């Protein structure tokens, strides 16, 4: 399968970036994270949950186009190769057992652009991991961001995906 950037097509007639029938757009991470910074703590928590849920739903659709169902064991590799091409940092998965997956993200755009927001802030990654984790582990999962580089307290963001 071609890498994400090779598959991405810009349609100048419609002003759209497309990967097959999936549309993408470019947005500055500081503009996105600035939205969350303008919300009250409770509204921010609700908005973070909403973006994670939305990306879980839409991410499942995207991820399902990357590998055939019988090749699901290759999905983590494809996602790790695609993430930097999308500007989502450098992803390194480990899959220690059939119930758990861990991920380290170097240079998360969400942590990098978080400004004064208290960590954790990488809810778009959490949403994608819910989708991918459920596909790889074969059922519902719980995702936690165990360390976040926002605010400079950590060098990397670390996530754990566990089968529910």
Q: What is the pLDDT of residues 29-66, one digit of tens each?
A: 999 999 999 999 999 999 999 999 999 999 998 888 88
Q: H/E/C letters for each residue in the chain?
A: CCCHHHHCEEECCCCEEEECCEEECCCCHHHHHHHHHCCCHHHHHHHHHHHHHHHHHHHHHHHHHHCCHHHHHHHHHHHHHHHHHCCCCEEEEEEEECCEEEEEEECCHHHHCCCCCCCCCCHHHHHHHHHHHHHHHCCCEEEEEEECCHHHCCCCEEEEEEEC
Q: What is the pLDDT of residues 79-96, one digit of tens each?
A: 999 999 999 999 999 998
Residue 1: pLDDT band (50, 70, 90) is low
Domains and CATH numbers, the chain: 29-163 (3.30.1380.20)
């Amino acid at each position: 399968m071609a890498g994400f950037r090779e598959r991405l097509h810009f349609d100048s007639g419609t002003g759209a970036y497309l990967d097959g029938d999936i549309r993408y757009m470019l947005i500055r991470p500081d503009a996105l994270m600035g939205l969350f910074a303008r919300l009250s703590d409770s509204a921010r928590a609700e908005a973070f949950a909403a973006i994670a849920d939305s990306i879980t739903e839409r991410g499942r659709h995207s991820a399902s186009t990357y590998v055939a169902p019988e090749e699901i064991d290759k999905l983590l590799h494809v996602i790790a190769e695609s993430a930097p091409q999308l500007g989502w940092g450098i992803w390194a998965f480990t899959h220690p057992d059939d119930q758990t997956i861990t991920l380290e993200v170097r240079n998360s755009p969400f942590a990098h652009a978080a400004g004064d927001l208290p960590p954790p802030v990488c809810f778009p990654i959490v949403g994608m991991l819910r989708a991918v984790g459920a596909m790889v582990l074969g059922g519902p999962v719980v995702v936690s961001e165990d360390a976040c580089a926002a605010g400079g307290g950590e060098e990397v963001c670390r996530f754990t995906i566990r089968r529910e």
